Amino acid sequence: MSRSTKIAITEWRDNVGGKLSIDYDFAVQGGAVGDIALDLDIPTGVIIYAGAARVLTTLASGGSATLALKVNSNGDLLAATAFATINSAGTLRLLSGTVDATAASATQPLVVPTVTTTAARTLTLQIGTAALTAGKLRIFLDCFDARD
């Protein structure tokens, strides 16, 4: 697939997986409170194991907007996060890991969650509290193709 203004499949091989990315421009595509389906369809059985969101143009809001990303359920890739926090981070990790406090060793391994699509899904941006009025993000996902 060739890169368009909305989506770029950087690398994908069936039965292996790959790296997906999509640009989203709030000034052009809207930023109303609610769910906004992005132009990235993900088939059933794809395991998303890492991701990031990078601010390309500073996000703006007339209030205290929050952003979340989902494929299966609310905030499964990114829990609701204040737009100001995303702006100050510049690049934000998706699927953030936690330290396993129950680990027997002193090293306490990092536990990183994964999300497996339970049906064909569309990557969805969730805007809460207040609308976004400007800004642009690039979202990256690393995936395994675990389909039959």
Would residue 44 count as lying in a domain? yes
The region that residue 106 occupies, defined by phi over 0 for left and psi between -120 and 50 for alpha, beta otherwise, is alpha
Whether the predicted pLDDT of 85 surpasses 60: yes
Contact 137, 54 (CB under 8 A): yes
Place of tokens 């499949």: 9
Contact 32, 131 (CB under 8 A): yes
pLDDT confidence bin for 6, thresholds 50/70/90? very low
Return the structure tokens found at 36: 């906004």
Predicted TM-score (pTM) of the model is: 0.81
Would residue 124 count as lying in a domain? yes
Give the pLDDT confidence score for residue 106 in this predicted structure.
52
Would residue 102 count as lying in a domain? no
Output 130 or 12, whichever has higher pLDDT: 130
Would residue 105 count as lying in a domain? no
Give the pLDDT confidence score for residue 97 in this predicted structure.
59
Q: 1-5, 9-13, 103-107: which has the highest mean pLDDT?
A: 9-13
pLDDT > 70 fraction of the chain, expressed in percent and rounded: 78
Taking the C-alpha atoms of residue 97 and residue 91, their distance in angstroms, rounded to an integer, is 16
Would residue 141 count as lying in a domain? yes
The predicted-structure confidence for 12-70, as pLDDT tens digits, reads as follows: 666 667 888 898 888 778 999 999 999 888 888 899 999 999 999 999 999 999 999 99
Contact 7, 130 (CB under 8 A): no
Q: Which amino acid is at 88?
A: S
Give the pLDDT confidence score for residue 43 in this predicted structure.
87
The domain that contains 33 carries what CATH number? 2.60.120
Would residue 138 count as lying in a domain? yes
Would residue 104 count as lying in a domain? no
pLDDT confidence bin for 121, thresholds 50/70/90? very high
Contact 59, 95 (CB under 8 A): no
Would residue 136 count as lying in a domain? yes
Q: What's the domain count of the chain?
A: 1
Taking the C-alpha atoms of residue 41 and residue 26, their distance in angstroms, rounded to an integer, is 19
The boundaries of the domain holding residue 60 are 7-97+110-145
